[in-house]
Structure formats: structure tokens, C-alpha cells
Amino acid sequence: MKSPRNLLNRGLLGLFAVAVVPSVVLHSEIRGTIDPATSQFLKQSVKKAEAANAEVLIIELDTPGGLLSSAKEMAQTIGQSKVPVVVYVSPPGASATSAGAILTLASHRAAMAPGTNIGAAHPVEADGKDVPGAMGEKVTNDTAAFAKSLAETRGRSLETAEAMVRKSLSLTAPEALKSKIVESLADNIPDLLRQLDGKEIKLTSGEVKKPQTSNATVQKEQMSLGLRILHFLAHPNVATILMTVAMLCIYVEISNPGVVIPGVVGAIALLLAFTAFQMLPIRTTGFLLIALAMILMIGEAFANTHGVLGAGGVISFILGILWVIDPNETTLRISPQVWVPAAAAMGGGTLAIGYFATRSHRLAVVAREKMGGFSASGLSGYRGQVESISAEGLSGKASFRGEIWDVFSSEPLQIGASVEVAKVDGMKAFVKRVH
């Protein structure tokens, strides 16, 4: 027979164990586009949830879509997770469209808040129309098959999943519940945790979990600063703005060497633009057109073709940004509110810089003509005034273009006399009197 003291000790140990190892729920938020940064964030969240032996990982989702490739990576991450991953479309007004719908289908369990919607996962072109021809059919079939396979794995409606891709079906929260796309409706995170408590959740491995979430401690997982920056950059609108700023600033620097600040800003913007485009699915033709635009504008700064190369660069740039994003891989588009002002800025900036460069060139020519100079470099042909003279009168100092030079003459000079440079040898100017 066990003594009361032993029973008391065991009871205290049990209480101590419960106090030391409370149940934990990890809560991460994905807002905005689905991209490589959000994919990396999900991987980090899953690893931390597994390390903390969390009951579940809740992904609070609000997205207009994004990269299909990133959505597939995130689906694989969820499939390999040892912790149940619950996608919760929230808050009211949020949506899980396009790639977000795919991500929701991939989750072990899905929930939506009132006033949210899900669906519209059909691939479209840059103008919002269906991708034409065999390529459009191929992309649609591939995406529909992927959505159906996810729905089948998680026990969701295959027909509805396919309709979200082929027919751009969009569902409200109650409709998604009725169509068996999500398993529950929840007003907030505490309500969701109450509904998840003790429910069976089957992982991809076949293991069945019964998370204890009613009294769990919720730990909020934040995206790191580096990932937040990448998440911000990974959008065609941001990439376009950065590329426009980069090209204009570099053009200003090349047209006016020594200004420095535009060159520094342009170099930074160019690197950030390349980083942004690297994370996006791009068409080679579009990217080559953007590169050609930069070459033509640099050529205009050196060749001074009176705007011919510059105009070609602007046209090439506009076509490039319109064609650079591959619509087969993402629903993200360069907004007309971005590319139209960018095109106007490129065209207007090129014209303005070209005008001021031509004007400066003409003023320099007029100034050289007044001073008698032959070119912008060199001193030959320039006229100046004698400032001082030696005792013998054959050497001294004279001012040319605001510079003081040692001058030598074959005939006597007087202070104040006008002289013209015949030739220059090192720092010595050989002059003749102007009568």
C-alpha cells in the first residue's frame, strides 16, 4: 500500500511537470504577396514550431496571390512538417486568392474569419485576360492538377478546388465551409484554438495529432528585417520603380560627370532592382529589352545623337517592363499606375537631360569662341591677359580661363597686354601678343 506521503510527492511532481512543460502554439502572419521571402519565413516558422514541440503552427493569411513556384515550395514545407500547420484567413476583409488559395488547400487544417474570401486561382496574362493558346491550357491544367492533388491529400472537395483554378471560382467564408474547402469558421485566434482543441489532424506522414490548444501559450513569430526587406522588394511594381530610378540617376551621372550623388543612388537602386527581379519569374526577352534600354541611354550620353538613342532607350524600357514578368508563374502584374508614370519619367527625364546637356555644350562653345579657344581641353588658341612680367620682359604670368600660367614670349610684353597661346609645353605656355 502506498503511503499518503508518496502519493503527495507524485502529485507535486505531476503538477511541477505540467507547469514546466506547458502546451505551446506558434502564430505567424503572412500578409501581402506570396514570394520567396514568405516561403523562407514559413520554413523558419515550421522549424521553430518543431523545436518548441508546438501543438500547432497557425499561419494567419491575407494575400492577393503571388508566385506559384513559391506557393508550391510552401506546400512542400507544410507536407514535410511534423507539426500540424493551420492556415487561418483573417482578419475580416482578408482574402486568400490565387497562390493564397493553393496555400490554404495545402494546410493540414484551414479556417476563415467572417467577411473573408478564397479562390480565383486561374492563371491570367498581364492585362487580366486568359493566357492564350497551348501555353494557357498547359498552365491551367498543371495548376488545376496541383490544386486537386492538395485537396485530395487533405480530404477537401476536388471539384471546388478545380473550379477555383479553371473557373476563377471565389467563395465567401460560409461558402468555403459548405464546399468543404475549409474545416471551420473562427472569429479570432482564441476561438480558433478552442475549436482545434482535441481535434484529430492527420499529417502527411500518416501520423494523427490531437493538439491540446484550449489553454496553450501563443507565441508570435515575426519575420526578420532581412526577410521583410526581401518581401517588400519581391513585387513587380517595386522592381519597376527601382529600375526607373536607377536608369535616370545613372544617365544623369554619365551626362554630368562628377556630380556623384546621382551615381551613388543609381548604383544602389540598380542592385536592389536586380535583387527584386531575381526573385520574380521573368521573361528573358523583357529583361534583355531593359538591358538594351540602359545601353542605348548610356550611348546617348556619350554619342550625343540629339535624342535618337535616348528615344530608342525609352521605347525599349517601356516594352521591357511590360513583357518582363512571366504570367504563367504569377498573378502579380506591373500596375498601369506604376509603368505609365515610369515611362513618362524616363521620357521626360531623357528629354530634359538631353536639352540641358545640349545647352551647356552650346554655352561652352560660345565661351571658347569669346576666349579664342579651340577645344574644351588644352590651352592652345586661348587669349588671356598678362598679370606680371620679368625684368627682361620676355616671361611672366598671365591669366587664361581663370587660371594663372607661366608664359614666355619672343617679343617684350607689358602688364595688361592681351596675349594668345601659340603652344603649351608642360606647364609653360608660349604666347604671342594680340595687337
Digit-coded pLDDT (tens) for 358-375:
666 666 556 555 555 444
Domains of the chain with bracketed CATH: 20-229 (3.90.226.10), 235-350 (no CATH), 383-433 (2.40.50.140)
pTM: 0.68
**Mean pLDDT, range 242-268, rounded to an integer:** 83
Q: How confident is the model at residue 148 (pLDDT cuts 50, 70, 90)?
A: very high
How many other CB atoms sit within 10 Å of the CB of residue 14? 10
412-418's contacts with Cβ under 8 Å and 24+ in sequence apart are 413/386, 413/389, 414/386, 414/389, 415/386, 415/387, 415/388, 415/389, 416/385, 416/386, 417/385, 417/386, 418/383, 418/384, 418/385
Least confident of 11-15, 111-115, 185-189: 11-15
Largest CA distance in the chain: 133
- Region of 196 on the Ramachandran plot (φ > 0 left; ψ -120 to 50 alpha; else beta): alpha
**Mean pLDDT, range 107-130, rounded to an integer:** 78
Cell numbers for 44: 523558419
Better-scored residue on pLDDT, 408 or 338? 408
Q: How confident is the model at residue 9 (pLDDT cuts 50, 70, 90)?
A: low
What is the radius of gyration, based on Cα positions, of the chain? 35
pLDDT digits (tens, 9 = 90+) for 46-98: 999 999 999 999 999 999 888 888 999 999 999 999 999 999 999 999 999 99
Residues 55 and 27: beta-carbon distance below 8 Å: no
